[in-house]
Structure formats: C-alpha cells, structure tokens
Homo-oligomer: A and B are copies of this chain.
Amino acid sequence: MSRADLAENTCTVARAIELFGDAWMLMILRETFLGNRRFDDLQRQTGASPHLLSRRLKRLQDIGVLRREAYSEHPARYDYLLTAMGRDLWPVIISIKSWGDKWLGEGPHSINIQHKSCGHVVVPQMTCPACHKSMEAYDAQASLSEEFELERDAIRSPA
C-alpha cells in the first residue's frame, strides 16, 4: 500500500491522516490559527520554500480547509483564511501543542491559550461530553464498525 491508498481506507482516521500527516500542512495550520494569512508571512514563519508552500496552500484549498480572498488586484495578492472545516482542526493543533508542552517543553509555554468567554489561561482538555470528566487513552474503549472490521479481517487473512 502506498500513502495515497490511505485515502481509500474505510477508516476516517486514515483518510484524515492522508490529508494532514505532513509537517508542512500542520505548520501552515499552526500559522493560520496564530492569525497569519499572507503568503510571505506564512512562508517566513513556517520556513517552507515558496514552491512547497504554494502546493500546500493549493491542497488546503482543494480540501476546503482554507479559502483565499484577494486583498490587492494589481498585483494579485491573497489572504488565506480558515473555513469552518479548517477551524474544526483546532483541536488537532491544540492536542499537538499540549503534548509538546508536556514532553518537549522547558520553561514557559511558547504559546498560551486564553479561553475568551471565561477569561482564563488554560490547557484545553479532552473531555467526555456525557459525564464531563477528562478522558485519556486508558479510559477509552474503541469499537469498530462492521465495514471497518471486515476490511481489517480481509487484510489479516487475504483470500
């Protein structure tokens, strides 16, 4: 299986990984969540080459995560803005941040998050919406859909 085959997977985790399992895609997302929206700024702060950045921005627009909006006509210049689909990736970047702060960080956090509606500076937590307790791996039992289970069985014992 090549990486592109992940897109054909039943599993939505695999399909999302095929889209975002790439350092530059994730770095561009970090930047857009920090409020960066212009090509030159994105290029400088991610460290991506212009060619690489162009390709990733195109991909993010094709997926529907970013949209562009002209801010100048001559020359043509664009703001790259998160769509609703893109803003929903915030928990992905925040989870990566929390892990990084805990396991790679020394001293003050490089980014702090304030919850606007309550005013507190917080480390957002993954929580169970039924009982409102924080959730971790040991607390979670995964079960697979019939289709995904069948797909995995077929991989385990090819016909």
Measuring CB to CB, which residues of chain A are less than 8 angstroms from any residue of chain B? 1-3, 5-6, 10-18, 20-27, 30, 33-35, 41, 44-48, 64, 82, 85, 87-105, 107-118, 120, 122-148, 152, 155-156
Contact = CB atoms under 8 A, between A and B. Distances in A.
Of all A-B residue pairs in the complex, the 3 with the closest CB atoms, nearest first, are A1-B47, A12-B100, A21-B23
A21 B16 contact: no
A115 B93 contact: no
A33 B142 contact: yes
B125 A90 contact: no
Q: How many copies, total?
A: 2
B128 A118 contact: yes
B110 A120 contact: no
B148 A135 contact: no
Select the residue from A12, A18, A27, A116 with max chain B CB neighbours within 10 A. Answer: A12
A11 B23 CA distance: 14
Contacts of A1: 46-48
Contact of A87 (B101, B118, B137): B137
Given A22-B22, A137-B90, A127 B127 contact: yes
Contacts of A110: 10-13, 144-145, 147-148
Contacts of A143: 111-112, 114
Contacts of A103: 16, 64, 85, 88
B92 A92 contact: yes
Contacts of A104: 12, 15-16
B113 A140 contact: yes
Contacts of A96: 13, 16-17, 20, 92
